[in-house]
Amino acid sequence: MTETAVSETPQRLVAVIDIGATSVRMMIAQIRADGEVSHLENLSQAVKLGRDSFVSGRIRRATIEDCVRVLKIFRRKLTEYEIARPEQVRVVATSAVREASNRLAFLDRVYIATGFNVEPFDEAQLHRVTYLGIRPILDANPELLAGQTVICEVGGGSTETLVMNDGRVTFAQTWRLGVLRLIHSLEASDVGQPNSRRVLESRIAQTAKQIAGVVNRREPVRLIAMGSEMRLAVQEISGGIEALEIVDVARLREFADQILRLNPDRLVTRYQLSIQEAESLGPALLINAMIARRLELETVHVARVNLRDGLIKEMLAGRQWVGNAEEQVIDSALTLGRRFSFDEAHARHVARLGVELFRQTTALHQLPDRWEIDLHLAALLHEVGLAIGERSYHKHSQYIIRNSVFFGVSSRELNLIALVARYHRRALPQRTHDVYSQLDQDDRVAVSKLAALLRIAKALDAGRNQSVQEIRAVRAGNTLRVEAPGLTDVSIEQLELRRQQELFEYVFGLNVELSAKPGFV
C-alpha cells in the first residue's frame, strides 16, 4: 500500500455546522462517488444564544466566547479528518444570531478566533435548505407528493412551515412562535405555575390557527413534522427510528403532557439532553400536537432530517439550487412576472440566452456556478417594472424584485438579483449608487458581470421574436465572437448589441461581435 492510494480516495468529506438557539451542532459526512451521503460524526454542544437573543436582543460576551470555545473544538475535529478547504465546510447561524443586534460583532469574533465564515441564514434560506433536506424523503415516498402537505419545524425562535401542493412549494412562512421565545415570555409575564399551561396553550393556539388559515381546507392535508423533539417522541412512543415515521396525534399529545409534567432534570438523564433541550422538549411537542389538531389530523408524519442534511445536499451539488428546487424558484419568478403582465416569451428567451452565455463564458467571467440562477431570475424579471411605467422601468423592476418573496431566496440574494435586473439598461453600475455601493467587492463585481451578460442576452432578442435560437460564443483576441447559427440576418440584434455592449467592454475589456452563420443549426 502506498501513500498515493490514500489520497486517491474518491469519497469527499464535508462538514456543516449549525449555530442554533440552544446548541451548536456539527455533522461530518462523507459523500461517496455514487453520491450517497453517510454521516461520520455528529457533535452537539449546548449554548445559550437563544436565551440571550430572544430575551435581551443581544448576545452576551460570555455566550459569544462559549460559542467560540465550541467552534474551536469542532475545528480540531475537522483537522483530524483533514477537512480544511473552505468549500468543505459550511457554517450557518439561524434566528438567534440573525436577530441579535450585535450579530456583526458575533460574526467577526467567530471569524477572528476560528477562521469560520458564518453565514447568518434568513428565513428564505432556511426554507430552501429545509426543502432540500426533506426532498429525498418525499421522493422515496411518492404518495406524499400528491395533494396538500404542510411541512413544519418548530425551533427555538420560530416555527417554519412550507405548504406544498402536488410536490411544489406554494407557500413558505416563518411564524414567530419559538419554544425559547415561548418559555421566556411565560417567565417574563410571571404567570403562576397553574396558569402557565393555559397561557402556553393560548399562545400556541393563535399561531396554529394562522397556520391552518393558509391551508386550503377544502382539500385533504397531511403534516410532516421535523425536529429533534419529534424524533425523540416517535422513538419513545413507537420505537420508530426510520427516516419517515407516523405517529398518532392523540398519543403525541399524551406524551407531550407526560413530558410537561416531568422535571427537566429528570429529562436530562432519561433522554441524555442538555438542560435547555430538556426544557424545550415539552413545549415543542405541544406546538406540533396543537398544529396537528388544528388541521384536524389523526396522525403526523415525522421526518428524520434536519437543517444539516439540507446543507450537505447543497454542498453535494456545489450550488444552492438542486434539481427540482431550481424549478420551484423559477416557477415562483414566472408567477411574479405574470402578476405584472410581463412579456413572458421575451423574458424566458432572454433568460435562456443569458444562461447559455453564462455557461459558454465561464473562462471569462470565472464566477461560481451558483450565480447562474441569479442571472436566470434577473433575466426573467428584468422588465417587470414596465407595469409601473416606462420611465426608469429598470428601477421599478429592481424595486419590485427587491420587495417580493420567493420561495427559498434569501433577502441578500434577492437584492443582488434586483441589482442585476436594474443594470440591464441605462446607467452603468456606479459607486455613487446607494445599494450597489453597499455591496462588498465580490458581489459588486459579480453584479456587474451578470448585468453585462444580461445586456448582451437582451440585445440578442432585440426583435422580440426569439429569432436567435442558438448561440456560440468564442473568444478571439480582444473580441468575444457570438455566432448565431442558422440565421442570415441579425442586423437588428447587431445594432442593439452595439448600444448595449459598453458595460461588457468595461467589465471584461472585450468587444462583442455578433455574426450570422447561415446553414443548419
User: Where does this chain bind another protein (CB under 8 A)?
Assistant: 1-3, 5-6, 8-11, 13, 23, 30, 32, 38-46, 73-74, 77, 79-82, 232, 235, 241, 269-272, 274
Shortest distance (Å) from residue 303 CB to another protein: 17
Q: Which CB, 18 or 413, lies closer to another protein?
A: 18
Q: Which CB, 10 or 389, lies closer to another protein?
A: 10
Shortest distance (Å) from residue 300 CB to another protein: 20
Q: How far apart are CA 284 and CA 273, in angstroms?
A: 14
Shortest distance (Å) from residue 11 CB to another protein: 4
Closest CA to 17 of 88, 98, 100, 96: 88
- The residues near 145 (Cβ < 8 Å, ≥ 6 apart) are 138, 139, 164, 166, 167
Alpha-helical (H) ranges within 46-94 are 49-56, 61-80
Shortest distance (Å) from residue 197 CB to another protein: 28
Q: Which CB, 32 or 338, lies closer to another protein?
A: 32
Contact 76, 87 (CB under 8 A): no
Q: Which CB, 77 or 412, lies closer to another protein?
A: 77
Kind and range of the H or E run holding 23: strand 23-31
Closest CA to 17 of 307, 304, 229: 307
Which runs of E-coded beta strand occur in 391-503?
472-476, 479-485
Shortest distance (Å) from residue 25 CB to another protein: 9
Report CA Rg, the chain.
Answer: 26
DSSP 292: H
- Three-state SS at 149: strand
- Three-state SS at 223: strand
Q: Which CB, 1 or 476, lies closer to another protein?
A: 1
Q: What is the DSSP string of 153-193?
A: EE-SS-EEEEEEETTEEEEEEEES--HHHHHHHHHHHT--H
Per-residue CA distances from 498 to 194, 452, 484, 511 (Å): 76, 13, 16, 9
Q: Which CB, 171 or 271, lies closer to another protein?
A: 271
Shortest distance (Å) from residue 304 CB to another protein: 12
DSSP 519: S
Per-residue CA distances from 154 to 96, 124, 168, 406 (Å): 14, 16, 21, 21
Q: Which CB, 239 or 389, lies closer to another protein?
A: 239
Shortest distance (Å) from residue 173 CB to another protein: 31
Q: Which CB, 89 or 204, lies closer to another protein?
A: 89
Other Cβ atoms less than 10 A from the Cβ of 220: the count is 10
Shortest distance (Å) from residue 153 CB to another protein: 19
Shortest distance (Å) from residue 286 CB to another protein: 21
Shortest distance (Å) from residue 8 CB to another protein: 7
Q: Within the chain, how many helices (H) and strands (E) appear? A: 23, 14
Q: Which CB, 140 or 241, lies closer to another protein?
A: 241
By DSSP bridging, strand 479-485 and strand 37-46 are unpaired
Q: Chain centroid to CA 46: how far?
A: 25
Q: How far apart are CA 283 and CA 290, in angstroms?
A: 10
Q: Which CB, 8 or 390, lies closer to another protein?
A: 8
